[in-house]
Amino acid sequence: MMASNRCAVVIPTKNAMARLPRVIAKVLKQQTPWPYEIIVIDSGSNDGTREYLRTVAQVRLIEIEPHEFGHGKTRNLGVSAADADLVAFLTHDAEPLNEFWLTELVDALEQDPRIAGVFGRHIAYECATPFVKMDLDRHFQGFLNYPLVVHRDLDPIRYKSDERWRQLLHFYSDNNSLMRKSVWEAIPYPDVEFAEDQLWAREIIEAGYFKAYAPDAIVCHSHDYAFLEQLKRAYDESRNFKKYFGYKLSSRPVHAAASIVGLVNEAFRQEVDGRFGEVTFAHRVRRAMQRVALISGHFLGANYERLPGPISTWLSLDTRLFRA
């Protein structure tokens, strides 16, 4: 049976009222030559998110209990519910820049029937610090140094031998992405606590599918973490990159210490392009603290097996990482 819509936009939510109304408004304004639907899956919000969504007639709201949420599992629920050939993902704090975001994703996918998934560009919110704006700009500019469509057979020898090349090929962000539902039916998101998007991308690459980058499919999405939250997020990132991919981020104390010294020094000396805003001394202090937290979290996460259980639980933002 053919789907009624060309595309569905799936958005998981939890206590999202700070940004969600703007996100929904931008999604509703998308200019497309084909119909699309909006599916929101809420996992127990108590800040008015569910009540707001019930007032938006164009949104199909699915409500689940908090304990039922899983990054991969919940997105699989969204895809299974979609009456569409293609499924786009946003997070509740990722705001499409303009009314052509969705068309740009679909156009990138339709370049080649072998493309299973597409991810788009992120830019920082206007209120972000100059360093956050610069980091996001550099990260996504970096993808322009490579083909916009990649696959394992671009360089099969390098894929086997070069970890950085494999990381590039499986980078994917479901803050801003689009997949073919037909591919998902064979390769759904894994039900994991972390990096379900990159694990899925690795699976489709290894299955022989292609992956694309859509630089003009842009969302505003950024974070400027305080020290403790940065430490914990870096811990989870490092722990799970080791667990799921075998990558070790700053695993040796000498390397971690050297990285901290180098990055703190850089925070106070680095020049930032004026288009990202004026850098104050307070920005540099905050940057230095964030870099200390980042490397410390990466070091602790890479050595998580050696930490006492209570410390591991406290360091993680997601206690489900330590369930039996």
How confident is the model over 114-142, as a mean pLDDT?
96
Report pLDDT for 324.
Answer: 32
CA distance 296 to 15: 29
Q: Where are the domains of the chain?
A: 5-220, 227-322
Contact 193, 70 (CB under 8 A): yes
Residue 83 pLDDT > 50, yes or no?
yes
Residue-by-residue DSSP string for 65-125: -GGG--HHHHHHHHHHH--EEEEEEE-TT-EESSTTHHHHHHHHHTT-TTEEEEEEEEE--
**Helix, coil or strand: residue 198:** helix
Looking at residue 1, its pLDDT comes to: 57
Region 238-246: mean pLDDT is 86
pLDDT at 319 (0 to 100) = 57
| pLDDT, tens digit (0-9, with 9 covering 90-100), for 172-226 | 999 999 999 999 999 999 998 788 999 999 999 999 999 999 999 999 999 999 9
DSSP code, position 224? -
| Confidence check: pLDDT of 308 > 60 | yes
86: Cβ contacts below 8 Å, ≥ 6 apart: 6, 7, 8, 106, 109, 178, 179, 180, 181
Most confident of 117-121, 246-250, 274-278: 117-121
CA distance 160 to 155: 9
Average pLDDT estimate for 91-117: 97
CATH fold for the domain made of 5-220: Spore Coat Polysaccharide Biosynthesis Protein SpsA; Chain A (3.90.550)
CA distance 131 to 128: 8
> Is the pLDDT score of 229 beyond 60?
yes
Q: What is the pLDDT of residue 245?
A: 84
pLDDT of residue 192: 85
Instruction: Give me the chain's average pLDDT, please.
Output: 93
Residues 12/39, Cβ–Cβ less than 8 Å: no
